[in-house]
A and B are shown apart, each in its own frame.
Chain A
Amino acid sequence: MSVTSGPVEIVLVYQSLLGIYGDQGNAVVLRQRLRWRGIDAVVTRVEPGDAVPATGSVYLLGGGEDAAQVSAVRYLTEDGGLFRAMDAGAVLFAVCAGYQITGRTFTVGDHDEVIAGLGLLDVETRRGPVRAVGEILSHWTRPDGSESLVTGFENHGGYTYLGASATPLGHVEIGLGNNGDGTEGAVQGHVVGTYPHGPVLARNPELADYVLELALGRSLEPLPNAEIDRLRTERLDWVRRLPPRAAATCA
């Protein structure tokens, strides 16, 4: 993204459709982490029928139900603003249902109707045998090879399979992730898709800063925060003490 003089614009896309799991918190987290560093930032909310601005640095999609996914794809495709923004170098961070619609195809409804997605990520999603519900812990590998733990809560019936152009965001230690093959999420250029809620950027500030660095094209200094550290420690301890999920379901 080229350097501009105005505030960094974070665009929260279709909260009314893709906002039932608290993922709007990702927008609050990104904005605050910039402001805490003295960088001006705003959140723009767009709803179906509004023009999606092409001026944003980061676009956010969140979790929602089947019918909402179909509507979101239709409105985003008709509008075109998101695609223009991506061409201009913006970052798209998509969670759960938002991750699924970012791919090439996904399925909805009782009869697994196949729907064409936005095609911004080389992944396909199909209904899996068991819904994945519970705390998830994965290991995220940055482009430079360094690793961080990502904690969150996954809740999805779709299983996502990566094509050759997409790279897994991380590898699952506990939970299901993409489809049970040990991978979680997908990255392709400036598009990042992932399953966990939490919201995931609230629980994982390093991932939040990575998204911002990708959007700004420069590195950001760390922001130590004891409360976030404490939450992470608590969640990591919790998920690692949980009985295996399949066994817990049988009980």
Chain B
Amino acid sequence: MTTMPMSLTGRARLRAATLLGDAAAVASRVAGKGTGASIRGQVLTRLAPSSFDDLLAGKRVAAVSGTNGKTTTNHLLAAAIRASLGAAGARRVVTNADGGNLHQGIVSALAKARSADIAVLECDERVIPDLIRAAQPEVLVFLNFSRDQLDRNHEIKFLARSWREALAAAGDRGPVIVANANDPLVVWSAGTAKQAIWVDTGARWTADAALCPACGTVLDWSDGPLGRPAWDCPGCELTQPAADYTVAGDDVTLPTGRVVTPSLQVPGAFNRSNAACALAAAIAFGVSLGDALKGLATVKAPAGRFAEAQFGATTARLMLAKNPAGWAEMLPLAGADPVVLAIDSALADGEDVSWLWDVEYEQLAGRRVTCTGPRAADLAVRLAYAGVDHDVIPDVFAALAAHPGHVDVMSTYTPFQDLLLKAGLR
């Protein structure tokens, strides 16, 4: 920092930092280390510390956060907003499509599309307070909170509290929140927003919602609308809010009572829920229903999720599952036999893999399962106790080569990125 001449204005500094960041990104790409997005962001935030604020200034902003589904929902939302802009959509909307959702990743994406006047951003849960402060987003989507990387995030509630405080501080200038009504922690986190639009997603993961986030009382879960579990706190006012949008099967009921059936290329019930949240957010952002539905239908393999990739004689469908809630959604979708499971415990995966025992791998019994990745041995013991036949091939690409034909590969974050890189998908 001290080497930069003091006469440089903030704008010039940002421009210089952008050029240097681009150069670093090119160098990184040439060296075969990935897209260079990460190094670009690092250079930018180092040389121009206010770049996050500066690059967001003057833009209309919509954003997505939560433990699971951020990347897909953000792709869906960006597609819906682009569809409303016609031919100008590609130029006017900037998004961190690669899933780089910390400050550096967001800055990197914004710097590459300076002329865009709309930013649609996926944000790590930790970035949300800063985004609310710096960007005055119009719409924020809060998807869910569940256990993830507990070696770093010790109390899930801590993040929810930081959202609550940021929304309270923003007051009337704050965003409209589109939030999952089925998740008590999400509902509590949005409780200080000026306006919330509630989506009954029918979400099934309730294992992290035993206690009321407001008062600590054990929540009641009883049958609610559509015979699905609904929650209520017997100790205070917090209760599952009445839904504005409701997901049931393939259908979404809108606030008007009209029922639509979004046409989607991404699979699974949880992606139906993600799409409903994206739809609600797009409409809150001013997109027409018709344009939003048209946009949602175009999203196929967001940041490589569910992409089919060829590795020698093996055709692999790439599936990302990072935590117990994610695995609970993903395992039923892995229909192929054999199935390859890749587990790592690098920084981005979480160092502690005890969570393997909160995943019901028992449902794979009867299938051929190959354990791979740096923590394959942990998974092998888990599967042995689950009564699931398996073999262990620690190298991910060797594991794929052992199964010519079609396989489903479910990975934690780091092996998933390695697979994308090898397949030329990032």
Contacts and interface: CB of A to CB of B under 8 A. Distances in A.
Interface of A: 15-17, 19-25, 28-29, 32, 48-49, 65-68, 70-71, 75, 131, 133-135, 153, 155, 157, 197-199, 202-203, 225, 227-228, 230-231, 234
A228 B377 CA distance: 8
Contacts of B381: 202-203, 227-228, 231
A142 to B, nearest CB: 23
B250 interface: no
Interface in B16-51: none
B150 interface: yes
Given A131-B154, A197-B352, A231-B378, A24 B357 contact: yes
A157 B155 CA distance: 11
Interface of B: 147, 150-151, 154-157, 207-208, 210-211, 216, 218, 351-352, 354-358, 377-378, 380-382, 384-386, 392
Nearest to A131: B154
Nearest to B218: A48
B380 A231 contact: yes
9 contacts: A16-B207, A28-B386, A65-B157, A67-B157, A68-B210, A70-B216, A75-B218, A155-B151, A234-B377
Contact of B210 (A16, A23, A70, A155): A16
Contact of A67 (B154, B211, B356, B358): B211
Given A17-B210, A225-B384, A198 B354 contact: yes
A224 B238 CA distance: 52
**Could you tell me the dominant secondary structure of chain A's interface residues?**
mixed
B74 to A, nearest CB: 27
A133 B210 CA distance: 25
A198 B357 CA distance: 9
Q: Considering the complex of A and B, which 7 residue pairs feature the smallest CB-CB distances, nearest first? A: A25-B357, A22-B354, A22-B357, A16-B210, A197-B354, A231-B377, A153-B352
Given A153-B351, A157-B154, A25 B385 contact: yes
B211 A17 contact: yes
A49 B392 CA distance: 42
Contacts of A228: 381, 384
B351 A227 contact: no
A207 to B, nearest CB: 14
A93 B208 CA distance: 23
B313 to A, nearest CB: 28
A133 B385 contact: no
A198 B378 CA distance: 9
Given A134-B151, A228-B381, 7 more contacts: A17-B211, A19-B207, A21-B354, A22-B354, A67-B157, A68-B211, A197-B354
B216 A155 contact: no
Contacts of A199: 354, 357
B385 A32 contact: yes
Contacts of B356: 22, 25
Nearest to B357: A25
A48 B386 CA distance: 26
B363 to A, nearest CB: 14
A33 B57 CA distance: 61
A25 B382 contact: yes
Nearest to A230: B377
Contacts of B357: 22-25, 28, 199, 202
A29 B385 contact: yes
Contacts of A28: 357, 385-386
Contacts of A24: 357-358
B154 A202 contact: no
Contacts of B358: 19-20, 22, 24
Nearest to A225: B384
Contact of B208 (A20, A197, A202): A20
Q: Considering residues A23, A24, A155, which has the most beta carbons from chain B within 10 angstroms of its beta carbon?
A: A155
A75 B216 CA distance: 13
Contacts of B377: 227, 230-231, 234
A133 B155 contact: no
Given A153-B354, A234-B377, A20 B147 contact: yes
Contact of A22 (B154, B351, B355): B355
A157 B154 CA distance: 9
Given A71-B216, A231-B380, A234-B377, A23 B354 contact: yes
